[in-house]
Chain A
Amino acid sequence: MTMINDQSYVRTEMLGEKSPPVSNVGIIGWMKNNLFSSPLNIVLSLLSIFAIYSVLAALLPWVFGGVWYASSLTECRAILFEIHGEATKRACWGVIRERFWQLMYGFYPSDLYWRPNLALVWLFAAIAPVLFNGLPKKMLLVSVAFPFVAPWLIWGGSFWVPVMAFMGFVVGFLVHRITSKTISSLVGIILGVLAALLWWLLLSGPIAEMMESIVPLEITKVGSRQIGGFMLAILLGITGITLSFPIGIVLALGRLSNLVIVKALCVGFIEFIRGVPLITLLFVASVLLNYFLPKGTQFDIILRVMIMITFFAAAYMAEVIRGGLAALPKGQYEAADALGLDYWQAQRLIILPQALKISIPGIVSNFIGLFKDTTLVSIIALSDPLGWVKLIQGNAEWNGVIWELYGFVAFVFFLFCFGMSRYSMYLERKLQTGH
């Protein structure tokens, strides 16, 4: 009886590890916890499973039982009738097989497909230094050359054109260098920009022609109307993304700036562009711009569309980035100031890396939206993937094909957008520094 009060205890043997009860782990445990934890949950789960099953039961045979080898809709239907009889619905993938290259490249000459392909590979090499750190410095040359080489590869023409375009930057830089030393840095910037513009508008064309006549370096020209399909979507998407990003940063910084005029310009630009539908801007690009430009100016339609898409995306980008900037504590600016960093150093080293990191989800949403918005150009008669869908449907052989074409286009867009979304999640995790 006295033992009851004796609380002292000594363990003589240590316990081994036991595995947790089956009901809590593994697939059964997971289902029990997440799908069947309460009566309501059970009902909802069963209904959902039934819904998913019905969709897949209809979709999977349609997709995987489709006919790949048929050269017209009638032929495809005949094949299907032979195999399955009257009522079954199966996809006619023949249209994709037959028109695959057009959906990808539009009317781009097939013997020149290597040129846009090379440009795409070059693009990956060019952005590698941005995506991964620790690459050799020389890789940057590839990146710098990209914006000049890629258009040349895609549109062709004289190699002297991109060289002269590059020279414009050199001229501008030299003028800036000289005048900012002798006069002032602001005057230096203005004169540098003016010099570059003058070079491009007046000198670069004639000089390129002259050089071409001395040392001909021409490859086959491809017109803008020949560029189409996913190539066009990717082209517009990539230029829109890469250009709208820096412009968006500048607009966001401008909007937060103390300089009244800069601020007013940025606010005006952002609010105007955001207040207008993209379609309107595209119509402006395709119709109105020609009206205002001097007669005879050749201003490429794709270039015009690129500019509009970039402006549109940049305005949204600016607002997303401004949100990131506003989320930074004031102390970060003060610490940067107190250490003696100047405005641009503080922005580049302290503020933007953090603000952009905060805005990654918003930025990537914008990129995805922009990429999908490129399909709007089919309205101004550019043959992007959706434009091509209509062209193909207009053919006698494939008149009446709907789901296969739109499904394929949607699938390819999904692959790209899902890829971007996963990359942004990876980036967020990589930049996590524990706070």
Chain B
Amino acid sequence: MSDSATVRKEMSISDEIAIEITGMNKWYGAFHVLKDINMTVRRGERIVVCGPSGSGKSTLIRCVNRLEVHQEGTIIVDGTELSSDLKNIDKIRSEVGMCFQHFNLFPHLTVLENLTLAPIWVRKTPQKEARETAMHFLEKVKIPEQAAKYPGQLSGGQQQRVAIARSLCMKPRIMLFDEPTSALDPEMIKEVLDTMIELAEEGMTMIVVTHEMGFARQVANRVIFMDEGQIVEQNEPQEFFNNPKSERTKLFLSQILGH
């Protein structure tokens, strides 16, 4: 890694390993979606995953919190190996936050209830404390005034920020983002990215599937390119964008960046 002085490098990355994936394979029926995935994420790293549609990006990060089950290899999150043991799965899920493309807020609950639900039922936090934490994170994503509304009454960008706040209320050590801005209008993308940048600056370990290359350049310390279920190339953003090694990466970048 180069040690040029960018903002990015000031964010500390420890030697502690947050996620370790070795020899992981996954099939949907007979379809081999993920092929021999090996990757290590250290605490404080911000990783951007990109690649063409259908390359398995979503499947990969969904395996990390066991929304999808892998068939071969090991995934170790925070020192706990993902197996069919329900206790381990619940433990990992409460440590790993996830934001979805379509927000997936609970439409029958108010914003505040969306935020306090998991802390109260999973972490057994007292109501009052859960509400205070929720307000704290709503302020952080800059929409405390929406607390009493229902998700259906908010704009897309506001909903995604609520979804981020909802994950943060569980005080996760790792955050996964699956194309958090791709269902949003252009003017709302920025407000969500700003929230994510702020999160990164605080040292959150993040894996972000996104096509926002500006975000990758500014925040990521590593970019992973996937194609046909495999990791084709990974590098720090500077190198990755300016000097891609693989032909597939070059093709992908030329399509996504215009010329």
Contact = CB atoms under 8 A, between A and B. Distances in A.
Nearest to A340: B94
Interface in A334-369: 334-335, 337-342, 345, 349-350, 353-354, 357
Nearest to B152: A435
A12 to B, nearest CB: 40
B150 A331 contact: no
Contacts of B170: 339-340
A340 B108 contact: no
A348 B104 CA distance: 17
23 contacts: A334-B100, A337-B65, A337-B93, A338-B97, A339-B94, A339-B117, A339-B118, A339-B170, A341-B117, A341-B122, A342-B86, A342-B90, A345-B122, A349-B121, A350-B117, A353-B108, A354-B107, A354-B108, A433-B108, A433-B150, A433-B152, A434-B153, A435-B152
Classify the secondary structure of B's interface with A: mixed
Contacts of B94: 339-340
Contacts of A337: 65, 67, 93
B98 A338 contact: yes
B197 to A, nearest CB: 22
B105 interface: yes
Interface residues of A, number: 21
A435 B104 contact: no
A339 B153 CA distance: 23
B117 A340 contact: no
B121 A431 contact: no
A339 B122 contact: yes
A45 interface: no
Nearest to A354: B108
A257 interface: no
Interface in A369-388: none
Interface of B: 65, 67, 86, 90, 93-94, 96-98, 100, 102, 104-108, 117-118, 121-122, 150-153, 166-167, 170
Given A329-B102, A339-B170, 15 more contacts: A332-B104, A334-B67, A334-B100, A334-B104, A335-B100, A335-B105, A338-B67, A338-B93, A338-B167, A339-B94, A339-B167, A340-B118, A342-B90, A345-B122, A434-B150
Contacts of A341: 117-118, 121-122
A331 B160 CA distance: 14
Interface in A312-334: 329, 331-332, 334
A340 B67 contact: no
Contacts of A345: 121-122
A433 B102 CA distance: 18
B147 to A, nearest CB: 15
Given A338-B93, A340-B90, A340-B122, A350 B106 contact: yes
B117 A331 contact: no
Contacts of B100: 331, 334-335
Interface in A50-86: none
A16 B70 CA distance: 71
B176 to A, nearest CB: 8
Nearest to B149: A434
Contacts of A357: 108
Contacts of B67: 334, 337-338
B118 A431 contact: no
A337 B100 CA distance: 12
Contacts of A349: 117, 121
A435 B159 CA distance: 13
Nearest to A336: B106
Contacts of B151: 435
B166 to A, nearest CB: 7
A414 to B, nearest CB: 33
A335 B97 CA distance: 10
Contacts of B90: 340, 342
B108 A431 contact: yes
A181 to B, nearest CB: 16
Contacts of A350: 106, 117
A340 B105 contact: no
Of the listed residues A329, A332, A340, A342, the one surrounded by the most CB atoms of chain B closer than 10 A to its CB is A340
Contacts of B167: 338-339
Contact of B107 (A339, A340, A342, A433): A433
B127 to A, nearest CB: 14
A350 B121 CA distance: 12
Contacts of B108: 353-354, 357, 431, 433
B152 A434 contact: yes
A433 B236 CA distance: 45
Contacts of A435: 107, 150-152
B206 to A, nearest CB: 15
A339 B97 CA distance: 7
A331 B107 contact: no
A331 B100 CA distance: 8
Nearest to B113: A349
Nearest to A435: B152
Nearest to A332: B104
A357 B106 CA distance: 13
Given A433-B108, A433-B150, A331 B121 contact: no
A96 B124 CA distance: 60
A350 B93 CA distance: 17
Of the listed residues A338, A342, A349, A353, the one surrounded by the most CB atoms of chain B closer than 10 A to its CB is A338
Of the listed residues B98, B100, B118, B170, the one surrounded by the most CB atoms of chain A closer than 10 A to its CB is B118
